[in-house]
């Protein structure tokens, strides 16, 4: 191994890195175009993130600033069921869900005289669709024009100290997150929300439930606020799904690091075992490693992500190991296969686990450094990198 050969290997690594950068950029462009072309159709056909707002009520009062004396619900009982239905569109997964909502609210007349209480309820979004809609006030269905765009307002006469009951229900579909917001309310009394899910991976961006139980498919969750000041919204984030496009592009952009580790191990093995591996051999090895991400980039949008990864890594391993088996024999090919599996396959697989990629690469780099230091501690580097003298041609004229 000469210094000139090392520079040639580094040049091959740099050229392969440029190719990976171009491939990763193309993946980002494909992902962006796929997202823009499908996002609007998903929103239009399925619905946006759902945020249900707490209802409002008031009665006319000359003493109030705007002539309206607000009444907060004296009791709220809400049932919500969430069914997770993710869909893949091109290089992106969309975290769709179906939601069934039913809310029962009680409004009490706080005055000593009968009052006409106005109750207002807003549907989550004008972009969503609603099935099996229900709106009754003291058992009477609303006569208001329900469009989904404007708040639904109805009125009922309530005797002094008596209560009116609002019952609202609907089924809808949404994307990414379901939220129940208390709006401008700073205080919530006798509030109870029961939620059922058909998925196990639950995430609460705001307030955690006060009680939870495992169900057959998901969870039974409860939020109970007997008298809460500054109550936080109730929110459920849909389970995260690995998006093929972003995962494939991140793997591609980090591949030069894996190749650098892989080639470093091969160079050391060549020095220790006195294997003569020409830069052209390294060129074909780099091409075999590049085939992994190239095939993976165009499989992820037609077959499942895990299957695409398995096929691409198997093809690349077979190409590299098979090439070295033919070129340098079985023993060297086994060492190279183990190194490629560790640095090209396992490092790439770490991108399937959100937040662990950096740690995996760091641990791998430290382990690699330790192994190389131990195995090369007694190597005479001056001897290894000395240019071999070429013997003079034999004189056959004598």
How confident is the model over 306-320, as pLDDT tens digits?
Answer: 999 999 999 999 999
**Angle ∠(297,263,6) on CA atoms, nearest 5:** 125
User: Which pLDDT value is given to residue 39?
Assistant: 60
Pairing of strands 50-53, 163-175: unpaired
Of 147, 121, 128, 141, give the one whose Cα is nearest residue 56: 121
Could you tell me which residue, 233 or 44, shows the higher pLDDT? 233
pLDDT tens profile 198-214: 999 888 887 789 899 98
Q: How confident is the model at residue 64, as a pLDDT?
A: 74
Q: What share of the chain is helix, strand, coil (3-state, %, to 5)?
A: 40, 30, 30
**pLDDT above 50 (res 389):** no
Q: H/E element holding 185?
A: none
> From the centroid of its chain, how far is CA 377?
44
CA 303 to chain centroid = 18
All structural domains of the chain, each given as residue ranges with its CATH number in brackets, are 3-32+242-384 (no CATH), 48-237 (2.60.40)
pLDDT at residue 192 in the model? 95
368 contacts: CB under 8 Å, gap ≥ 6? 261, 264, 265, 343
Q: Is the pLDDT of residue 376 over 90?
A: no
Q: Can you give the pLDDT at residue 302? A: 84
Q: Is the pTM of this model over 0.85?
A: no
Which position has the higher pLDDT, 372 or 319?
319
Nearest to 335 by CA among 256, 254, 259, 273: 273
217 DSSP 8-state letter: S
pLDDT tier at 22 (50, 70, 90 boundaries)?
very high
* Sign, Cα dihedral of 152, 157, 161, 167: negative
pLDDT confidence bin for 369, thresholds 50/70/90: confident
Angle (CA) 110 113 115, round 5°: 75
The residues facing 317 across adjacent strands are none
The stretch 70-95 carries a mean pLDDT of 89
Number of H helices, E strands in the chain: 8, 17
Asked if residues 189 and 75 have their Cβ atoms less than 8 Å apart, the reply is yes
Are 312 and 295 a contacting pair, CB within 8 Å?
A: yes
Residue 15 confidence (pLDDT) above 90: yes
Closest of 167, 162, 166, 35 to residue 101, by C-alpha: 167
If you average pLDDT over residues 41-45, what whole number do you get? 61
What's the pLDDT at 375? Answer: 73
| pLDDT digit string, tens, across residues 101-147 | 999 999 999 999 999 999 999 999 888 889 999 999 998 998 877 87
Percent of the chain with pLDDT over 90: 46
* pLDDT (mean) for 23-33: 86
pLDDT surpassing 50 at residue 29: yes
Average pLDDT, the chain: 86
The helix (run of H) or strand (run of E) holding residue 65 is none
Sorting pLDDT into bands at 50, 70 and 90, what band is 88? confident
The pLDDT of residue 390: 47
Give the orientation angle of helix 244-273 with respect to helix 330-340, to 10 degrees: 140
Give how far Cα 196 sits from Cα of 46, 202, 234, Å. 21, 11, 13
Q: How many CB atoms lie within 10 A of CB 76?
A: 22
For 91, other C-beta atoms within 10 Å of its C-beta total: 24
Residue 38 has pLDDT above 70, yes or no: no
Q: Residue 294: its pLDDT value, please?
A: 94
């Amino acid at each position: 191994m000469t210094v000139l050969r090392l520079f040639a290997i580094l040049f091959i690594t740099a050229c392969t890195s440029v190719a990976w950068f171009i491939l990763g950029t193309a993946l980002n462009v494909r992902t962006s175009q796929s997202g823009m072309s499908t996002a609007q159709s998903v929103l239009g056909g399925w619905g946006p993130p759902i945020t249900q707002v707490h209802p409002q009520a008031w009665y006319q009062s000359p003493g109030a600033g705007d002539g309206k004396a607000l009444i907060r619900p004296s009791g709220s009982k809400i049932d919500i069921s969430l069914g997770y239905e993710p869909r893949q569109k091109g290089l992106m997964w969309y975290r769709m869900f179906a939601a069934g909502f039913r809310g029962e609210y009680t409004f009490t007349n706080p005055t000593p005289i009968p009052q006409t209480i106005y109750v207002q309820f807003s549907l989550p979004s004008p972009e969503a669709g609603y099935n099996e809609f229900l709106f009754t006030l003291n058992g009477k269905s609303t006569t208001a024009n329900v469009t989904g765009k404007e708040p639904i307002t109805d009125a009922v006469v309530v005797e002094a100290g008596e209560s009116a009951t609002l019952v609202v229900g609907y089924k809808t579909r949404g994307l990414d997150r379901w939220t129940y917001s208390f709006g401008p309310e700073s205080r919530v009394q006798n509030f109870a929300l029961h939620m059922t899910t058909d998925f196990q991976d639950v995430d609460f961006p705001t307030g955690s439930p006060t009680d939870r139980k495992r169900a057959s498919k998901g969870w039974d969750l409860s939020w109970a606020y007997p008298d809460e000041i500054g109550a936080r919204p109730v929110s459920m984030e849909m389970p995260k799904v690995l998006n093929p496009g972003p995962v494939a592009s991140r793997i591609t952009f980090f591949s030069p690091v894996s190749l650098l580790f892989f080639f470093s191990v091969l160079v050391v093995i060549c020095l220790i075992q006195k294997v003569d591996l020409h830069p052209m051999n390294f060129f074909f090895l780099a091409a075999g490693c590049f085939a992994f991400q190239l095939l993976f980039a165009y499989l992820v949008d037609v077959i499942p992500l895990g299957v695409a990864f398995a096929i691409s890594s198997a093809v690349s391993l077979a190409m590299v190991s098979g090439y070295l088996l033919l070129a340098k024999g079985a023993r060297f090919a086994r060492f190279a296969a183990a190194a490629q599996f560790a640095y090209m396959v396992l490092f790439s697989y770490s991108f399937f686990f959100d937040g662990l990629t950096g740690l995996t690469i760091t641990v791998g780099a430290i382990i690699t450094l330790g192994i190389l230091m131990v195995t090369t501690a007694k190597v005479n580097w001056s001897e290894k990198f000395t240019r071999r003298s070429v013997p003079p041609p034999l004189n056959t004229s004598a």
